[in-house]
C-alpha cells in the first residue's frame, strides 16, 4: 500500500506526529498532501502567513471560486506579516488585495486577526474598515502601524470585540521613524468602550478625559506620555481604565521628554526633582478624583522608579520589575505606596547584589508588606560567586525581613555584569556556567542551610534551574521539637504551591520578552517527551516487524541489523505562533534474528539527546534520566506484557509482542527510516 492510498483520517493522524517543519516540506510533494496538511494546520491553531506563502494559502482556501465553506469553518486565527519578502511571487499591492479577498471569502468564522509590519502598507483606511466588517465573529485584533487617518478602522468591527493591540506611527511618509509622536487612541476605540477586556497600546499620549473603558481588566501601555502633566502619569490610566486589574507599563516618558529608564544610569538630584514633581501631581489627582478602588492584582514595570513616579495610592498585590534601582529613597517610597505582597525582580550582576539589592531588602524590612520574593539571576554569575555563597549572602540580607517564601530562578541569559560570553573566555563560557548550575542543582543542601540560617520567618524556599529542574523545601514545626526542620517537596507539589501562592515561574529579565508563559513549562515538556517516546517505541517495533516480514517473504537472509531514528520534542509558543524545538532524541534499535526463532530480540537505546537551541536548554542528566524512565515505564507496563528493561536499553523478546498494539500504531511511523528499509515505506 502506498502512502497516498491511506484515507484522510489516517493521513491526518500521521500529521499530528510530524513537526511543523516536516509538515511544510511534505505539503510540497503533491496537491492532496498539501490540502490535507493545510487542514491539519487549521486544526492546530493560528495560521502565520507571509507574502511568499499567501498565494499558496489563497489557492487552498479556493478564494477564486468564492471560498470553501468546509475549510472556512476551520479558519479561526490568522496572522499576516507584511515584512519585505524577496520570495514573494506577487508585488505587495497585489498581495494586499489577495489578503483582503481571503478575509472576504473565508473569514466568517475568524476570531483572531493580526496584521504586522505597518497596516498602512496593506490597507487604505476605507478598505481596512470594510475588511473588518466582513468578520462577524472577530474577538481579537492586532493592527501594527496605524496613522491618525485610520481612526474609523474599527467602527464596523463586531460590537463584542474583546482584545485589541494597536501600535501607532507618525504617518505614511515616516513609517520607520522611531522618534516619539504620540497619538490619542480614544478616537480609534470609541465604538468599543463596553466590550474590550484586554487592551495593548504602543506610542500613545493619554488624557484624563473621555468615556472610560469599564470592561478592561488587562492593560499594557508602551512608550507613552500624558498631555496634561497636572494629572501625573497615573491620572489618565485611572480615569480611562477604572476596573483594570493587571497593568503593564513600559517606556514611560516625563514632561522633559525623557524616558524614565535613563535615570537608572544617570540618577542625581535634578532627576529626583523631575520625577518627584510628576509623582506629586499624580498624588494630588488621586486625592481629588480617587484611585483604583480595589487596587491592582499585578503591576509590571521596568524598575521601582516607575512605581515611584506613578505615585499610586492603592494596594498592588504583586509587582514585577525588570531591575533594581540605585536609590534607597525611591525604593522605600515605592514599596510604601503600594504595599505589595509579592515582588519579582532580576539581578544582573554582583554590583546589584552588593548595593541595590541590599537597599531593597532594607526597604522590605521597613515596609514589612512583602512576604513573597522572586529573584532571577543569570548563571553567568556562578563563575564569580558560587551558588551556596550567593545564598549565604542573600541569607544575611534577609535577616529582619518578613519574607516567608523565596523563589530564585537561575537562567542562562549569559550576560553577567555586562559582559558577553565568549568561547575563548573560560570564565564566561556557557559550558562552564552550565556545569556550575548543574552542580548547584544536584547538591543544593548547603545553599539551603546557608540561606535559612538565622531566618526563622522563611517557610518555603524554591531553587529553579532553567536547564535542570526545580528543588523546593518547606519548613515543618514538629510538636515536641525545639527546632523546625526542612523537608523537600516533590516537584509537582512544589509547582502547585507556586500556583496557589501566585508565584509563577518566569525567566525574569529587563526586557522580559523571552519569558516562558507559565510555571508548568517543564511539566509540559516532560509530558510531551513521555508521549512521543511511547509512540516512537511502538512505531519502531512496528517498522522492524514489517521489515522482517518483507525480508522473509522475499527470502532475503537476515541475521542482525541496526537502524536509527530520531524525533524532536517541542512546545507551542502562542505569542510567536511557532513551535519551539527543545530537544532532539536519537534512538538506535538493534534487531537480532534467526531463521528458526524469527525476531529474537529488539534493543532500543537512547544514544543521543541534543538541543538545537542552546540558549533555551542545554543537555542535562535530568532529561536523559527522564527519557530512560519513560522508556522503562512503557516496557514494564503489564498491559503490554513487556519485561522490565535494563538501565540503558529495552529488550523485547518476540514472543511478548502484542499484535493489536502494532496494528493500532501502524500509522505512527518515522520517515527518517526510509533510507534504511525502503521496502517497508513502499508497503505502508
Mean pLDDT is lowest, of 26-35, 94-103, 270-279, for 26-35
Give dist(CA 476, CA 455) in Å, integer: 14
The pair phi, psi for residue 649, each rounded to 5°, is -150, 170
Give dist(CA 221, CA 206) in Å, integer: 10
Average pLDDT over residues 291-302: 94
pLDDT value, residue 11: 66
Lookup: cell for 424: 575563548
Pairing state of beta strands 112-116 and 77-81? parallel
Beta bridge partners of 319: 299, 343
Which pLDDT band holds residue 295 (cuts at 50, 70, 90)? very high
pLDDT value, residue 259: 78
360 close to 346: Cβ distance less than 8 angstroms: no
Average pLDDT over residues 351-363: 84
Which pLDDT band holds residue 646 (cuts at 50, 70, 90)? very low
pLDDT value, residue 74: 77
Nearest 5°: the CA angle 331, 334, 338 is 140
Which pLDDT band holds residue 289 (cuts at 50, 70, 90)? very high
Which pLDDT band holds residue 40 (cuts at 50, 70, 90)? low
pLDDT tens for 364-406 read 999 999 999 999 888 778 888 889 999 999 999 999 999 999 9
pLDDT value, residue 382: 82
Mean pLDDT is lowest, of 22-26, 393-397, 487-491, 557-561, for 557-561
Q: Is the dihedral of CA 252, 256, 258, 261 positive or negative?
A: negative
90 close to 99: Cβ distance less than 8 angstroms: no
188 close to 204: Cβ distance less than 8 angstroms: no
pLDDT tens for 647-677 read 333 333 333 333 222 222 222 222 222 232 3
Four-point Cα dihedral 28, 30, 33, 37, nearest 10: 20
Give dist(CA 122, CA 132) in Å, integer: 13
Average pLDDT over residues 213-233: 93
pLDDT value, residue 18: 64
Percentage with pLDDT > 70 across the chain: 60
Average pLDDT over residues 132-143: 93
What proportions of the chain, in percent to the nearest 5, are helix, strand and coil?
A: 40, 25, 35
Lookup: cell for 646: 535494563
401-432 residues labelled b (16+ CB within 10 A) or e (exposed): bebbbbbbbbbbbbebeeeebeeeeeebbbeb
Burial class (CB in 10 A: 0-12, 13-18, 19+), 262: exposed
The better pLDDT of the pair 395, 544 is held by 395
Predicted confidence (pLDDT) at residue 493 exceeds the cutoff of 70: yes
Predicted confidence (pLDDT) at residue 33 exceeds the cutoff of 80: no
Give dist(CA 104, CA 131) in Å, integer: 7
643 close to 656: Cβ distance less than 8 angstroms: yes
CA atoms within 13 A on the CB side of 285: 26
The better pLDDT of the pair 624, 433 is held by 433
Which pLDDT band holds residue 315 (cuts at 50, 70, 90)? very high
Whose cell is 548563571? That residue is: 379
pLDDT value, residue 88: 52
pLDDT value, residue 527: 47
Whose cell is 509530558? That residue is: 527
Give dist(CA 325, CA 323) in Å, integer: 7
pLDDT value, residue 66: 82
Map 562-618 to HEC letters.
Answer: EEEEEEEEEEEECCCCEEEEEEEEEEEEEEEEECCCEEEEEEEEEEEEECCCCCCCC
DSSP assigned state of 85:
-
Mean pLDDT is lowest, of 217-231, 386-400, 609-623, for 609-623
Which pLDDT band holds residue 139 (cuts at 50, 70, 90)? very high
Which pLDDT band holds residue 350 (cuts at 50, 70, 90)? confident
Four-point Cα dihedral 450, 453, 456, 460, nearest 10: 20
Average pLDDT over residues 17-32: 65
- Cα-based distances in Å from 229 to 42, 225, 279, 367: 48, 9, 10, 29
Pairing state of beta strands 316-323 and 342-347? parallel
CB count, 10 Å around CB of 598?
14
Q: For the residues of 8-53, what is the DSSP string, one character each? A: HHHHHHHHTTS-HHHHHHHHTS-HHHHHHHHHHHHHHS-EEEEHHH
Report the chain's mean pLDDT, rounded to a whole number.
72
Strand order, beta sheet including 560-573: 560-573, 578-594, 598-610, 649-651
DSSP assigned state of 246:
E
- 480 conformational bin, left if phi > 0, alpha if psi -120 to 50, beta if neither: left
471 close to 493: Cβ distance less than 8 angstroms: no
558 close to 552: Cβ distance less than 8 angstroms: yes
Lookup: cell for 473: 523545601
Amino acid at each position: 500500500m502506498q502512502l497516498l492510498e491511506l484515507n484522510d483520517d489516517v493521513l491526518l493522524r500521521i500529521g499530528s506526529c510530524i513537526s511543523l517543519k516536516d509538515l511544510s516540506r511534505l505539503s510540497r510533494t503533491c496537491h492532496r498532501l498539501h490540502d490535507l496538511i493545510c487542514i491539519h494546520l487549521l486544526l492546530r491553531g493560528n495560521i502565520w502567513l507571509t507574502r511568499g506563502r499567501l498565494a499558496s494559502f489563497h489557492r487552498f482556501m479556493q478564494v477564486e471560486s468564492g471560498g470553501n465553506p468546509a475549510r472556512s469553518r476551520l479558519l479561526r486565527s490568522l496572522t499576516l506579516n507584511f515584512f519585505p519578502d524577496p520570495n514573494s511571487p506577487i508585488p505587495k499591492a497585489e498581495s494586499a488585495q489577495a489578503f483582503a479577498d481571503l478575509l472576504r471569502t473565508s473569514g466568517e468564522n475568524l476570531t483572531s486577526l493580526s496584521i504586522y509590519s505597518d497596516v498602512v502598507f496593506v490597507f487604505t483606511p476605507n478598505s481596512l474598515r470594510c475588511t473588518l466588517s466582513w468578520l462577524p465573529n472577530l474577538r481579537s485584533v492586532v493592527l501594527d502601524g496605524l496613522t491618525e487617518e485610520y481612526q474609523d478602522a474599527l467602527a464596523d468591527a463586531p460590537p463584542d470585540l474583546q482584545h485589541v493591540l494597536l501600535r501607532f506611527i507618525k504617518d505614511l511618509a515616516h513609517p520607520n521613524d522611531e522618534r516619539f509622536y504620540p497619538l490619542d487612541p480614544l478616537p480609534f476605540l470609541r465604538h468599543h468602550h463596553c466590550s474590550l477586556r484586554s487592551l495593548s497600546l504602543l506610542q500613545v499620549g493619554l488624557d484624563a478625559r473621555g468615556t472610560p473603558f469599564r470592561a478592561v481588566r488587562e492593560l499594557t501601555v508602551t512608550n507613552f506620555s500624558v498631555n496634561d502633566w497636572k494629572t501625573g502619569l497615573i491620572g489618565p490610566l485611572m480615569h480611562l481604565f477604572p476596573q483594570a486589574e493587571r497593568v503593564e507599563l513600559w517606556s514611560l516618558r516625563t514632561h522633559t521628554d525623557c524616558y524614565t529608564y535613563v535615570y537608572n544610569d544617570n540618577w542625581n538630584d535634578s532627576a529626583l526633582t523631575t520625577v518627584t514633581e510628576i509623582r506629586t501631581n499624580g498624588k494630588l489627582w488621586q486625592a481629588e478624583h480617587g484611585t483604583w478602588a480595589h487596587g491592582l492584582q499585578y503591576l509590571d514595570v521596568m524598575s521601582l522608579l516607575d512605581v515611584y513616579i506613578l505615585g499610586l495610592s492603592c494596594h498592588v498585590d504583586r509587582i514585577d520589575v525588570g531591575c533594581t534601582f540605585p536609590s534607597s529613597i525611591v525604593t522605600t517610597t515605592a514599596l510604601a505606596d503600594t504595599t505589595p505582597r509579592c515582588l519579582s525582580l532580576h539581578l544582573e550582576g554582583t554590583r546589584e547584589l552588593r548595593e541595590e539589592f541590599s537597599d531593597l531588602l532594607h526597604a522590605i524590612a521597613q515596609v514589612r508588606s512583602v512576604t513573597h520574593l522572586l529573584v532571577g539571576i543569570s548563571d553567568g554569575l556562578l563563575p564569580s560567586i558560587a551558588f551556596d555563597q550567593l545564598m549565604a549572602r542573600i541569607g544575611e540580607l534577609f535577616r529582619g525581613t518578613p519574607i516567608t517564601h523565596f523563589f530564585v530562578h537561575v537562567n542562562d541569559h549569559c550576560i553577567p555584569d555586562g559582559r558577553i560570553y565568549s568561547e575563548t573566555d573560560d570564565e564566561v563560557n556557557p559550558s562552564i556556567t552550565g556545569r556550575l548550575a548543574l552542580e548547584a542543582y544536584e547538591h543544593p543542601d548547603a545553599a539551603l542551610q546557608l540561606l535559612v540560617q538565622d531566618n526563622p520567618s522563611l517557610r518555603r524556599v524554591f531553587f529553579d534551574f532553567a536547564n535542570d529542574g526545580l528543588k523546593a523545601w518547606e519548613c515543618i514545626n514538629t510538636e515536641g521539637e525545639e527546632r523546625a526542620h526542612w523537608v523537600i517537596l516533590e516537584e509537582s507539589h512544589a509547582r502547585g504551591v507556586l500556583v496557589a501562592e501566585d508565584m509563577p515561574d518566569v525567566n525574569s529579565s529587563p526586557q522580559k520578552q523571552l519569558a516562558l508563559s507559565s510555571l508548568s513549562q517543564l511539566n509540559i515538556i516532560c509530558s510531551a517527551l513521555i508521549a512521543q517516546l511511547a509512540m516512537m517505541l511502538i512505531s519502531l517495533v512496528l517498522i522492524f516487524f514489517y521489515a522482517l516480514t518483507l525480508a522473509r517473504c522475499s527470502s532475503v537472509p537476515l541475521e542482525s541489523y541496526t537502524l536509527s531514528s530520531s524525533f524532536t520534542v517541542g512546545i507551542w509558543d502562542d505569542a510567536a505562533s511557532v513551535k519551539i524545538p527543545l530537544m532532539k532524541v536519537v534512538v538506535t534499535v538493534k534487531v537480532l534474528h534467526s531463521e528458526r526463532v524469527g525476531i529474537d530480540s529488539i534493543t532500543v537505546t537512547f544514544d543521543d539527546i541534543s538541543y538545537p537551541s542552546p540558549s533555551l536548554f542545554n543537555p542535562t542528566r535530568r532529561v536523559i534520566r527522564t527519557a530512560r524512565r519513560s522508556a522503562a515505564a512503557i516496557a514494564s507496563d503489564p498491559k503490554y506484557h513487556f519485561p522490565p528493561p535494563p538501565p540503558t536499553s529495552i529488550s523485547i523478546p518476540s514472543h511478548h509482542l502484542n499484535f493489536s498494539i502494532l496494528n493500532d500504531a501502524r500509522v505512527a511511523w518515522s520517515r527518517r527510516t526510509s533510507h534504511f528499509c525502503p521496502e517497508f515505506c513502499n508497503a505502508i
